[in-house]
Amino acid sequence: MMEIPTGRHLVYQTSLMSALLDGIYDGDTAVATLLEHGDFGLGTFNALDGEMLILDGVCYRMRVDGTVSPADGGDLSPFAVVTEFVPTVTIPVDGLTTRDEAVALINGGLDSANYLYAVRLTGEFEWVRVRAVHKQEKPYQPMSEAVRGEKTLAFGRSWGVVAGFRTPLYGQGIGVPGGHVHFIDAERQQGGHVLDFALLSGTIEICIGTDLHLELPLTAEFRHADLSPDNLADQIEQTENHR
């Protein structure tokens, strides 16, 4: 069980999940700026041109075909969450474990559901299924339309990392309530936005976030975005958590 620390731990975020849902796919935050705020994180790139995963201080772009390449420092992001990953809870996993079972292990290791947590699951996977979204063209459609007919990829047995953030339910619209995770293999050759997986063995590490530094884009598109639609929860479920 994680004990709440007496010190504070900062999480940096650019823009809002609700803005991404509204089709605000161009941001003004560079990868180099994100890396100034931490060595661990996830997000996406302008025009939804690839999923983002930051591990050990390196920012990776995972494209629609599942291939991976390091991102350039000048690449821009419309949404990203970053922190210095300092795990305070480590949970060994032995034996076949589903995503739901891994989530239960993570939840069981938390002293409180009211904080933001960075989570890293490293190990051998029997399989991982990920989502791939094509680069978008202007005028941008809402994300519910962008992911319609999306391509899914299945990776077979491999070593790798599933990493991301667990956001409290009250953070809906700021982030993705529950788990938002991306996968990358050990060779940094393939990955994407995780839909489901089966873990053979590995280690779960959890890092608490007590402070959220949120920077909002200074763009006309963001100023006019609809950030509180009536069906916000349904949109998040449709675009982020469906399997």
Q: Per residue in 183-210, pLDDT tens?
A: 999 999 999 999 999 999 999 999 999 9
Which has the higher per-residue pLDDT, 97 or 4?
97
What is the pTM for the complete model shown?
A: 0.92
pLDDT of residue 230: 66
- What is the model's pLDDT at position 111? 85
Question: Could you read off the pLDDT of 127-183 as tens digits, one per residue?
Answer: 999 998 899 999 999 988 888 878 899 999 999 999 999 999 888 888 888 889 999
Please indicate whether residue 230 or residue 63 has the higher confidence score (pLDDT): 63
* Contact yes or no for 59/31 (Cβ under 8 A): yes
